[in-house]
A and B are shown apart, each in its own frame.
Chain A
Amino acid sequence: MATTTIRQGPVLPAPSGRAGFGGTLRSEFTKIGSVRSTYWTLLMLFAVSVGIGAGISGLSANSWSNTPPADRTPFDATQISLAGLLVLGQLVIVVLGALVLSGEYSTGMIRTSLIAMPRRIVIYAAKAAAFTAVALVVSLVTAFTAFFLGQALLASTHQSATLAGPDVLRAVIGSALYITLCGLFAFAAAAIIRNSAATITAMIGLLFVLPVLVNWTPWHNDLVRWLPSSAARAISATVWNAGPQNAHLFFPWGQFAVLAACTAVVLVVGGILFLKRDA
């Protein structure tokens, strides 16, 4: 039965041009959108970031009202509401970014993908673009939700921020950009490492362990501004003197540029290896 239905006149419309970025980008969106793990991961990103942001905001409001006015120190209400996103949200998005590529290596799907689209740079770029788009949209939604919920909980302190406040919009959008870049960094690292667990471990090392190690060194005031993870603190700050170490950081976008530059380098290295290595 199968053998008789294969050819019935022209099966496909005549081709024009060649297979390229557009179709592959659509394909990558289909890939991301057609597995349940994506939705669970993104839901977790949202829940953890908003939940923890709300928790910290609530606790801060509580301790503020229990502290005598004379002992109150200024705090960064914007940064507090974004803390969940910046600390745990980045971990979730790192997992998602790594899985976009390393998941294909662990299942063998990468070979199927490369047979369908053998122009590797197209696959690499389309994957990076599709992930970035999804990650950015979800990060922005999460960041703004966490901000508004956090500010509502901090309202009793009369220290809460509004988007119209100085640097507040930069902090909220910048935080979303920060975790998106972390995810993209993990994507590129996965192109180099090609293993999910190892990539995620390496990213935890870079974002969580390395800052602690640097903190123990005598040169930490000179080193801290060169860490990719320091961008989180700088880009989300609206009250510069609220953070004890902020004096050793670059100004927010400068500190963000350190992360962006590191990500760019890793993306290029990952891309070259993706192109040159046997699949």
Chain B
Amino acid sequence: MIEVRGLTKRYGETTAVRDLSFDVMPGRVTGFLGPNGAGKTTTMRLILGLDYPDAGAATIDGKQYAHLAYPMREVGALLDARAVHGGRSAYNHLLCLAQTNNLPRRRVGEVLEMVGLTEVARRRTRGFSLGMAQRLGIAATLLGDPKVIMFDEPINGLDPEGILWIRNLMKALAAEGRTVFVSSHLMSEMQNTADYLIVIGRGRLLADCTTEEFITRSSVPTVQVATPQADQLAKAVAKEGGTAVSGDNGTLIVSGLTAGQVGALALEHGVRLEELTVVRASLEEAFMELTTDTVEYRAGAEGAHSQPAGPGRPPQELAGHGRPGSDGRS
């Protein structure tokens, strides 16, 4: 498991990660979610010891990454699939990584087979498509048969087939009892893959819960109603304490009332209903909901925001950019 405690990292004036604490448990896919520049890559770099934290610590099974006896047997991490020497063949790239951890040479062939790159093993990686580079990066993470897997935005630039492949791979790795920690700014992707979510925004923890919990907790369920008597129903809803706003194609979006309550209201007022649907919030919407707070705070809007943004924060910091380029994909 990965333990992050009070992790803080500043790059000059910008605080990329602020007092971040969370655990990533084995046996499930944990999504690491946040908008671009939220500090996801920085957090992963800190866990892997590529950057040094200003405060706090990250450990893998109780040890700092640099102190692991055989790092590749414990952790397989892919931050940037393009971080390879283009003049080296796929086979030699994996071989030089395997040798640092005294892994047997045969393992290189095995992981190439796993990711389906055997055919191009002797080709220089310069000519690889992003999808092939991504597979090569994943092959490298599997070399040491590690207990912990970390992927930073693994589906970026992949075709649908590649996305499906990675999604199934991550689920399979988690099912084998491994810790799978995968970052993404694509909420929809995490909804399909992650059992558990760590959500950050501007370097702070926003949520740490199951994916389901995240959706139900951070979003108001709504009821979509199609009716020719929209005005009449809207008034009735308002009287009952709900909120009705007009949606697409003359529908009403009702919040604050259940579908049953809306149905009963319609019957009571003689309103003909053509459609009555409970709209389950998607992870995307729940995420927007959560991060709206930070945006509104930046705009200086007053409101009942529970976000612990802290007083007197300079506006430029709220933009929440990581160190330029540290992301590798900005």
Contacts and interface: CB of A to CB of B under 8 A. Distances in A.
Interface of A: 1-7, 11-13, 15, 17-19, 22-24, 26-28, 30-31, 34-37, 103-104, 107-120, 276, 278-279
Given A3-B169, A12-B103, A113-B97, 17 more contacts: A5-B114, A6-B173, A6-B176, A7-B176, A15-B70, A15-B73, A18-B70, A27-B99, A31-B85, A34-B88, A34-B95, A109-B85, A111-B80, A115-B77, A116-B72, A116-B101, A279-B45
A2 B115 contact: yes
A13 B165 CA distance: 28
A60 B317 CA distance: 69
B115 A19 contact: no
B142 interface: yes
B169 A2 contact: yes
A19 B100 CA distance: 7
Interface string B81-116: 011111111001101110111111001001001111
B175 to A, nearest CB: 9
Given A6-B114, A15-B69, A107 B85 contact: yes
Contacts of A107: 83-86
B73 A12 contact: yes
B39 interface: no
Contacts of B52: 276, 278
Interface string B159-203: 000000100110111001000000000000000000000000000
19 contacts: A1-B116, A2-B115, A2-B116, A3-B168, A6-B173, A11-B107, A11-B145, A17-B69, A18-B70, A19-B70, A27-B97, A27-B99, A30-B95, A34-B96, A36-B87, A107-B86, A114-B50, A278-B45, A279-B50
Nearest to A38: B87
B140 interface: yes
A169 B197 CA distance: 69
Interface of B: 45, 48-52, 65-66, 68-73, 75, 77, 79-80, 82-89, 92-93, 95-97, 99-104, 107, 110, 113-116, 140, 142, 144-145, 165, 168-169, 171-173, 176, 328
A4 B169 CA distance: 9
A105 to B, nearest CB: 10
B49 A118 contact: yes
B51 A278 contact: yes
Given A12-B107, A12-B144, A111-B80, A24 B85 contact: no
Contacts of A278: 45, 50-52
Contacts of A13: 104
A2 B176 contact: no
B204 to A, nearest CB: 21
Given A109-B84, A115-B79, A278-B51, A27 B96 contact: yes
A108 B172 contact: no
B83 A35 contact: no
Contacts of B168: 2-3
B152 to A, nearest CB: 11
A34 B92 contact: yes
A37 B52 CA distance: 33
A116 B102 CA distance: 11
A26 B99 contact: yes
B51 A279 contact: yes
A108 B50 contact: no
Scoring A2, A23, A27 by chain B CB atoms within 10 A of each residue's CB, the highest score goes to A2
Contacts of B48: 114-115, 118
A6 B142 contact: yes
Nearest to A18: B69
A116 B97 contact: yes
Nearest to B168: A3
Contacts of A17: 69
Given A13-B104, A24-B100, A34-B89, A119 B84 contact: no
A132 B77 CA distance: 30
A1 B116 CA distance: 9
B113 A115 contact: no
Contacts of B113: 5
B115 A23 contact: no
Contacts of A120: 66
A230 to B, nearest CB: 36
B85 A104 contact: yes
A15 B77 CA distance: 20
Closest 4 pairs (CB-CB, A-B):
A108-B83, A34-B92, A3-B172, A18-B69
A245 to B, nearest CB: 42
Given A118-B48, A279-B50, A37 B116 contact: no
Contacts of B102: 15, 19, 22-23
B85 A23 contact: no
A9 to B, nearest CB: 11
Contact of A35 (B71, B82, B85): B85
B82 to A, nearest CB: 6
A210 B184 CA distance: 51
Contacts of B66: 118-120
Contact of A2 (B49, B87, B145, B165): B165
A12 B146 CA distance: 10
Contacts of B92: 30, 34
Contacts of B80: 108, 111
A35 B99 contact: no
A114 B49 contact: yes
A30 B50 contact: no
Contacts of A12: 73, 103-104, 107, 144-145
Contacts of B101: 19, 23, 116-117
